[in-house]
Amino acid sequence: MESERNKRLLQDVLARPGNDVCADCGNAEPDWASVTLGVFVCQGCSLLHRGIPHISRVKSVQQETWDASEVELMAAMGNEPAKAKYEQKVPAFYYRPKHTDCKLLREQWIRARYERNEFEFIEKQEPYSAGYREGFLWKRGRDNGQFLSRKFILSEREGALKYFNKQDARDPKAVMKIETLNATFQPAKIGNPYGLQITYLRDNSTRNIFVYHSDSKEMVDWFNAIRAARFHYLQVAFPGASDEELVPKLTRSFMKEGFMEKTGPKHTEGFKKRWFTMDDRRLMYFKDPLDAYARGEVFIGSKENSYTVLPGLPPSTQGYHWNHGITIVTPDRKFLFACETEAEQRDWIAAFQRVINRPMRPQEYAVEAHFKHKP
């Protein structure tokens, strides 16, 4: 029967190298295929392909009937040849999303490759490759929580991202050095599908800015422009480093975020609920997840430097409402936290342990010294 034969041939094509993972996000279950582009994709990415029906038509590999012509197209293309075609000139700094990334990043990656052909024609990369970008973003006000339109300018030449409170203002409200800049998409936290959290260091303390734009491409272009600026800055700062060494340093997602309770240095103060963000070795806590400044920051060093994390709290501890405690021991003091659930406690301990198990880099000793001398 022809349909059975086509199904067998399709399974043979699926077994070829590269076709065993999603062409778009690397997920291990490519149960769908674009019969117009000739690529195998996962279910999540197949839903995004449905957003470009003029370019991509998807079918289930297992559950739908395939024509001989469709199987022939898949055999003629496949994931590896498609990658060679659609990713010819992807800049080293451009963020390639994984299946765990937010929908926005994955959708724009798919559109950039197949709809806009950005990686076949370098001139189409100008919005994030030019070294300069300006435009308006909706920025959350530090005090009132309202989002207002603000002008932003990113300049590699000046080594900074700036924003202005008034359209005709000559002086920026804030200057964020590219050296300490980070950006990470936070749609759930910000309450907008295109929400971006930008962080930078001011007087060696972390400052948060929350922005979004109504156009998804515009937002991802800003994100990749920041990555490009960081990439070019690091190339100058570390002239011997390879692209593979620099790319992981461009932007980073937080290791873990969530609510915990904490007490003060005497351990006699009542426990207070705070929002915690683990950003590499910086553990920051905020009264509200969208606060501009942290109420405090804790440096988490390595086990070689006498940092340890323990489940539970000292027996004499009082005043906590949540029962799943964590004690972080540093050379100077103990920090006490409490989690609402055992699962949260387990996740936080795992995050702390990953950092503590990693030896400190030379530049991290300078950061640790600054924390010790904070007023």
Q: What is the pLDDT of residues 128-170, one digit of tens each?
A: 999 999 999 999 998 888 999 999 999 999 999 999 998 788 8
Asked if CATH classification 3.40.50.880 holds for the domain at 1-122, the reply, yes or no, is: no
Rounded to whole angstroms, the Cα distance separating 171 from 252 reads 29
Rounded to whole angstroms, the Cα distance separating 67 from 183 reads 45
**In the numeric block, which tokens belong to residue 257?**
């975020």
Mean pLDDT of the chain: 94
- The predicted model gives 23-47 an average pLDDT of 95
**pLDDT confidence of 63, banded at 50, 70, 90?**
confident
- At 93-105, the pLDDT tens digits run 999 999 999 999 9
| Domain ranges for the chain | 1-122, 129-249, 256-373
Q: Is the pLDDT of residue 307 over 70?
A: yes
Q: Percent of the chain scored above 70 by pLDDT? A: 99
**pLDDT confidence of 375, banded at 50, 70, 90?**
very low
DSSP bridge pairs for 339: 324
Q: Which three-class secondary structure state does DSSP give residue 337? A: strand
106, 88, 112: which is closest to 44 by C-alpha? 106
Q: Looking at the chain, how many residues does it have?
A: 375
Domain boundaries 129-249, corresponding CATH code: 2.30.29.30
**pLDDT confidence of 5, banded at 50, 70, 90?**
confident
Q: What pLDDT does 154 receive? A: 98
**pLDDT confidence of 372, banded at 50, 70, 90?**
low
Q: Is the pLDDT of residue 374 over 70?
A: no
Class of domain 256-373: mainly beta
Q: What pLDDT does 363 receive? A: 86
- At 257-277, the pLDDT tens digits run 999 999 998 888 899 999 999
Q: What pLDDT does 40 receive? A: 97
Rounded to whole angstroms, the Cα distance separating 311 from 305 reads 19
Q: What pLDDT does 278 receive? A: 97
Give the strand pairing for 32-34 and 182-185.
unpaired
- The predicted model gives 10-26 an average pLDDT of 92
**In the numeric block, which tokens belong to residue 347?**
């996740």
Q: Higher-confidence residue: 134 or 2?
A: 134
Q: Which three-class secondary structure state does DSSP give residue 153? A: strand
**Which residue is listed with tokens 């530049």?**
363
33, 21, 79: which is closest to 57 by C-alpha? 33
- At 337-363, the pLDDT tens digits run 999 999 999 999 999 999 999 999 988
**pLDDT confidence of 113, banded at 50, 70, 90?**
very high
Query: Is 1-122's fold the same as 256-373's?
Result: no
Q: What is the 3-state secondary structure (H, E, C) of 199-213?
A: EEEECCEEEEEEEEC
Rounded to whole angstroms, the Cα distance separating 339 from 331 reads 23
Rounded to whole angstroms, the Cα distance separating 252 from 279 reads 8
Q: Is the pLDDT of residue 72 over 70?
A: yes
- At 310-320, the pLDDT tens digits run 999 999 899 99
**pLDDT confidence of 373, banded at 50, 70, 90?**
low
Q: Percent of the chain scored above 90 by pLDDT? A: 83
93 neighbors 33 (Cβ within 8 angstroms): no
